[in-house]
Structure 1
């Protein structure tokens, strides 16, 4: 297919907006049109993202439906609560990629509990590799759609780590524990004291402790789809001194089928579920046995590196996933969904190789 489509990016001066622009600029099928923001309107993009030299002289416009209209794609990198109203005024034929939380949750009660406002409705969920209990993938729901709810970055890491085991009946849906190491870029670019360099350098600190993080219901939603049953989750993210990246360590109880085989060879049987789920996935890589994911290996790439093993002493599965929170965790995933929605090659315009060291 040979076409060149225009894309507008709202929230262009933020980290997610900058990553969207980096990827769309390199995409052979897209050209960047309007770039918008609110407080930074009137300034040039180069004053916020000097690395985007091709777009440095573009002037940031106000974020209004009028400015965004007329594009084939509109990517919204806005805070939660800001996307719904703007999206409602865009044409039905425009592909809208919402990188905020507004349209991710299907349950209005969960939305009200964690976000405190009326539920703005749900859109097709943009995690193509999400495996369901019936063996299908979320990719099918994205074909030809014109509205996509791009997942949260923490959600992506935890889901890709554990979903195959739930779908295959390897682990129980109860007592799932996820502990994450997160770079501060996932919290956005606005000035916040806990994100200052003097606060995070040489330190690691948990946040959203005790089930209060807003990604909890979204993770539960995904894992329940994989398990075909409700799940219970303890989720604790930890801020660490790296600008971008997520390392998720997720553990869950093995089902009785596998706890009866704890003879030193259980890991091989468990591994088959992840091998089957991701064998044909271009962006999710089950690493060779004994090799563990690192965030450096996924830096700047639209990839997820996954490894699994069995802690036989505890009777639990251990799954680890590494992603770049701004690429596979946000902007790269949005571009991947755009490729699927338009029937383009899914890998088009997306980096596969990380930057290390």
Structure 2
């Protein structure tokens, strides 16, 4: 029997990617495809790859409450209200926004608002154990299996945390610098002057430094006490893909072999994370359309620093793919169902 999947915010890129992946998922039936402003609009009018006669549904809590799991692909203010309402009704929820990723104080610091549900702020130790941060590869897998609400990690934090977390005990605190670049789909589907083709084509620009919101998420979920992180994102002229280049000073006595061993050991049994040999570097195109992550690390003996590169599809492992990975775990489905690490190449 198929599990009923609801998607809210289905008219955005993350929601559309969920629909694409769900179309071939062996255990999901898409029961609700909700979008506020696009309700009643044929889906194919916005996304020609999703051919058919189906239209976007209105957002109705009653219909969503009948789903086995609901994925929210909405702004965080909408998710905070709707996610809490569905949680209270006992509905399993995976949220793609930042509504539940941080502590109450962290949310106020990085998003400038009051968090009305401290029990669902997964960054607080006192949060309800049924509400969890969901990066399975970072030791959250079992918590996700028993969760009612999962805060799906952001795209930049996913790539950064996967690259740095296994090395936490090998790094000097306060030395981490992250230089990350994402395709334009990470900025959403809304028409913006800065995203016009004529503006982004042939262009590369930084934004959000030094206080990009994802900085707080990276600092909160890195293991140990590694101090403040310097994080700068960049917009690159491609539709999808994300590459994070992370630099840090190694602790005394740590060499390249220890770094490589830490990464390969951490991900030896992980289906979606591939550690490359030193000297080989990840390519975003190799992961397009997949839920995979490729990592590599090189050590500069001259400076005592490590460079870790991490590539994902920002709409895959950075959003919709990871949401389905978490939904699979929540429902007791094989974790890899409907997902792949194999990208569309060339």
Contact preservation (8 Å) 1:144, 1:343: no
Cα distance in 1 for residues equivalent to 2:310 and 2:206: 19
Shift of 1:67: 3.4
Cα distance in 2 for residues equivalent to 1:199 and 1:93: 45
Residues 59-98 of structure 1 correspond to what in structure 2 (within 5 A)?
A: 59-90=55-86, 92-98=89-95
Residue of structure 2 in register with 1:36 after alignment: 34
Shift of 1:141: 1.2
Contact preservation (8 Å) 1:336, 1:346: yes
Residue of structure 2 in register with 1:296 after alignment: 285
1:22 to 14, 20, 23: 20
Shift of 1:230: 4.6
1:257 to 253, 273, 297: 253
Contact preservation (8 Å) 2:65, 2:89: no
Contact preservation (8 Å) 1:299, 1:354: yes
Shift of 1:285: 0.5
Residue of structure 1 in register with 2:215 after alignment: 216
Residues 261-272 of structure 1 correspond to what in structure 2 (within 5 A)?
A: 266-272=255-261
TM-score by length of 1: 0.91
Say yes or no: does 1:200 pair with 2:196: no
Residues 121-200 of structure 1 correspond to what in structure 2 (within 5 A)?
A: 121-122=120-121, 123-130=131-138, 137-166=139-168, 169-200=169-200
Q: Which runs of 5+ in 1 are unaligned?
A: 131-136, 259-265
- Aligned residues: CA RMSD: 1.2
Residue of structure 2 in register with 1:133 after alignment: none
2:112 to 111, 116, 125: 116
- Of 228-237 and 12-21, more deviation after overlay is shown by 228-237
Say yes or no: does 1:244 pair with 2:243: no
Cα distance in 1 for residues equivalent to 2:173 and 2:44: 47
Query: C-alpha offsets along residues 235-294 of structure 1, whole Å, 9 cap, x if unaligned?
Result: 000101010010100011100122xxxxxxx32222100011000000000012321101
Say yes or no: does 1:104 pair with 2:86: no
Cα distance in 2 for residues equivalent to 1:149 and 1:333: 11
Instruction: Report how many aligned residue pairs link the two structures.
Output: 333
Say yes or no: does 1:275 pair with 2:272: no
1:47 to 45, 48, 72: 45
Shift of 1:88: 2.6
Name the SS for the 1:257 alignment partner.
coil
Cα distance in 1 for residues equivalent to 2:262 and 2:141: 19
Contact preservation (8 Å) 2:172, 2:226: no
Shift of 1:22: 1.0
Cα distance in 2 for residues equivalent to 1:78 and 1:276: 36
Cα distance in 2 for residues equivalent to 1:194 and 1:355: 27
Name the SS for the 1:89 alignment partner.
helix
Residue of structure 2 in register with 1:355 after alignment: 344
